[in-house]
């Protein structure tokens, strides 16, 4: 296998060729996270007969220019695809592959590049679809901690410091509490000119809408504990190519390298081998048409078909405390703690179910419906679902948050989506539902004044009232034990 480095339109590019004379099909990974970290991946592709290419995006690591996230990737990817197809070692067939931001690069090459530059197949793992999708929930609530961590590590710099936010928090544990949010660069002690502009990005769903026009096969891979899970599934559902495959398991953003607490040994998958086998079948046109895939059921060893959805089920909810509570942004409910305070003024409304009489298989979209009142012109409503084992151990299952601007003091009825679940709960488990006004630091605090949370400097408390009779938890529950499937067979079918 022969490795070499090239400059493609000035961008640093590593190439690993298989043994033999070729020509070969090619795989392209474009990344802001240092192409050299993909050397083992390139060797793996080459061993399987693919010419493997990794490239630093413009302005990052070995590539010159200005680093502007999400701005140059379609044009730069198209130039690289043209270059690959002109090489004597290329047979003209190209797979665009990547995870997170690199998945964004693969998708815009497939959907935004000129027709002659587009790849013949796409592998998109935990895809970051765009600035707006990464910065905010679909309801508009700002994802603070994850964006602060990413921008501190990678924003407006040619290299990366993965521990930048952790080091800053060690110096100032209250770093993310300081206002305004858009003043974070000064508190980090370095320039981040793109940070304020991130929060002005509000156009969501563009790539998912464009996915209907796709003309090539897709393999979408995600984790149930990844904050881009819904985007991954939406992409698979809307993909217009001849075939679309979905693989999701009880993993975080690192996929099999970041298993969740509900992962089992049976959820280990050799993704590298699966990607290569899928690519071969996709390029040969050997995949069945339509959407298929597999979902790993956390808390069990089972994999089930990706199209499986549970029927609505509403467990009995018993109010425990906090029917009236104060959402105080000076003392917000924290996203990184599951302990519920038992003294003082309630900061959340708490419900608990009786112990489950039998195991429960939850597969699909969950939500909370409620009737509630806020005494401020703007109010966030965060719903957190927690599983409490018979031994008393608490584990977060899902979180949803919406922003409301209902008339002050008037009850409103609305839903809080909890996202997709794929989980088996053991008999004896109790479900704890928390309704709060904040979920910090995962999400920025609503100041409750109607001002933009990113630029606000004044915070006020918000009195809340929840009607217990108007609260319902809706879970997608399988009525019978699901038929098991083999994830590799489903992806390759």
* C-beta separation of 247 from 485 below 8 A: no
Q: Is the pLDDT of residue 444 over 80?
A: yes
Is omega for the bond preceding 180 within 30 degrees of 0, making it cis? yes
Q: What is the mean pLDDT of residues 361-373?
A: 97
49 φ, ψ (degrees, to nearest 5): 95, 15
Q: What is the mean pLDDT of residues 243-268?
A: 96
Q: What is the mean pLDDT of residues 427-451?
A: 97
What is the C-alpha separation between 179 and 444, in angstroms, rounded? Answer: 10
Q: Is the pLDDT of residue 399 over 90?
A: yes
Structure tokens at 45: 């592709």
The pLDDT of residue 1? 64
Model confidence at 203, in pLDDT bands (50, 70, 90)?
confident
Q: Is the pLDDT of residue 344 over 90?
A: no
The pLDDT of residue 236? 98
| pTM for the predicted model, two decimal places | 0.96
Q: What is the mean pLDDT of residues 453-477?
A: 97
The pLDDT of residue 241? 96
Average confidence score pLDDT of the chain: 96
pLDDT tens, residue by residue, 45-60: 999 999 999 999 999 9
The pLDDT of residue 181? 97
Above pLDDT 70, what percent of the chain? 100
Does residue 82 sit in helix, strand or coil? helix
The pLDDT of residue 4? 82
The pLDDT of residue 207? 95
The pLDDT of residue 343? 83
pLDDT tens, residue by residue, 280-315: 999 999 999 999 999 999 999 999 999 999 999 999
The crossing angle, in degrees rounded to 10, of helices 39-47 and 271-284 is: 50
Q: Is the pLDDT of residue 342 over 90?
A: no
Q: What is the mean pLDDT of residues 116-135?
A: 96
Give the Cβ contact number of residue 356 at 10 Å: 17
What is the C-alpha separation between 306 and 294, in angstroms, rounded? Answer: 5
The pLDDT of residue 279? 98
Q: Sign (positive/negative) of CA torsion 305, 133, 225, 254?
A: positive
Q: Is the pLDDT of residue 249 over 90?
A: yes
Question: Distance between the two ends of the chain, CA-based, in angstroms?
Answer: 30
Cite the DSSP H helix spans in 131-214: 131-135, 144-154, 164-171, 184-188, 194-198, 206-210
Q: What is the mean pLDDT of residues 114-126?
A: 96
Model confidence at 405, in pLDDT bands (50, 70, 90)?
very high
Q: What is the mean pLDDT of residues 333-359?
A: 94
The pLDDT of residue 433? 98
Does residue 179 sit in helix, strand or coil? coil
């Amino acid at each position: 296998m022969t490795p070499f480095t090239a400059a493609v339109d000035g961008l640093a590019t590593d190439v690993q060729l298989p043994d033999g004379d070729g020509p070969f099909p090619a795989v392209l990974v474009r990344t802001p996270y240092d192409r050299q970290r993909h050397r083992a991946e390139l060797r793996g592709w080459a061993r399987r007969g693919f010419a493997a290419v990794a490239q630093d995006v413009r302005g990052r690591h070995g590539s010159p220019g200005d680093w502007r996230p999400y701005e140059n990737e379609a044009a730069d990817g198209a130039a690289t695809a043209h270059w690959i197809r002109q090489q004597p070692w290329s047979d003209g067939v190209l797979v665009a592959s990547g995870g997170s931001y690199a998945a964004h690069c693969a998708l815009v090459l497939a959907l935004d590049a000129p027709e002659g530059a587009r790849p013949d197949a796409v592998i998109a793992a935990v895809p970051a679809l765009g600035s707006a999708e990464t910065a905010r929930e679909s309801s508009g609530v700002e994802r603070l901690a994850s964006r602060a961590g990413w921008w501190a590590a990678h924003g407006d710099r040619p290299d990366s410091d993965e521990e930048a936010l952790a080091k800053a928090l060690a110096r100032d544990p209250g770093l993310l509490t300081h206002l305004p949010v858009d003043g974070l660069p000064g508190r980090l002690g370095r320039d981040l000119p793109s940070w304020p502009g991130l929060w002005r990005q509000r156009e969501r769903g563009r790539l998912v809408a464009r996915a209907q026009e796709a003309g090539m096969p897709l393999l979408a891979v995600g984790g149930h504990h990844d904050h881009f899970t819904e985007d991954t599934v939406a992409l698979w559902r809307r993909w217009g190519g001849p075939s679309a495959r979905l693989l999701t398991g009880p993993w975080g953003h690192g996929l099999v390298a970041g298993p969740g607490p509900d992962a089992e040994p049976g959820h280990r998958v050799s993704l590298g081998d699966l990607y290569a086998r899928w690519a071969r079948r996709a390029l040969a046109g050997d995949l069945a048409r339509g959407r298929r895939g597999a979902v790993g059921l956390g808390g069990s060893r089972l994999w089930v078909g990706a199209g499986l959805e549970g029927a609505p089920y509403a467990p009995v909810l018993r109010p425990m405390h906090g029917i009236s509570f104060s959402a105080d942004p000076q003392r917000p409910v924290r996203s990184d703690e599951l302990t519920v305070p038992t003294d003082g003024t309630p900061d959340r409304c708490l419900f608990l179910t009786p112990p489950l009489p039998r195991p429960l298989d939850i597969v699909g979209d969950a939500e909370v419906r409620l009737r509630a009142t806020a005494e401020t012109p703007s109010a966030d409503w965060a719903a957190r679902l927690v599983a409490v084992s018979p031994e008393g151990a608490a584990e977060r299952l899902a979180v949803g948050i919406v922003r409301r601007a209902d008339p002050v003091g008037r009850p409103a009825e609305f839903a809080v989506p909890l996202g997709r679940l794929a989980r088996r709960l053991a008999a004896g488990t109790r479900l704890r539902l928390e309704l709060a006004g904040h979920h910090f630091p995962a999400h920025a605090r609503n100041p409750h004044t109607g001002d933009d949370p990113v630029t606000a400097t004044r915070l006020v408390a918000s009195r809340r009232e929840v009607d217990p009779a108007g609260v319902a938890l809706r879970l997608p529950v399988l009525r019978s034990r699901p038929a098991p499937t083999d994830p590799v067979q489903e992806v390759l079918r």
